[in-house]
Amino acid sequence: MKLSFIPEDMDWVCEPCGLALQPGMAELFYLGNVFRVELPMCPGCGAVLIGEELATGKMLQVEQLLEDK
């Protein structure tokens, strides 16, 4: 199953590169675990945007779950 967290509003530009963000596959690491996730990403430098909802929602949940494993 492909994990995707692409926000409705993708009108974001990478500041250093000046390029519009596009969906891209990023790897998230925590405590020796890795998740391949689709996130808004700069096609130039690969910088990834993590929004508030994701950080304080799903991501926090997974972090806590892994911490208790």
- Please classify residue 40 by burial: count the beta carbons closer than 10 Å to its beta carbon, then call 0-12 exposed, 13-18 middle and 19+ buried: buried
H-run or E-run covering 67: helix 58-68
Provide the minimum distance between the beta carbon of 23 and other proteins in the complex, in angstroms, as a whole number: 15
Structure token digits, residue 46 = 């690969």
Residues that bind other proteins (CB under 8 A): 9, 11-16, 20-21, 26-31, 45-50, 52, 55-56, 59-60, 62-65, 67-69
Q: How far is the CB of 20 from other proteins (least distance, A)?
A: 8
In the bound state with other proteins, the residue whose beta carbon lies nearer, of 4 and 45, is 45
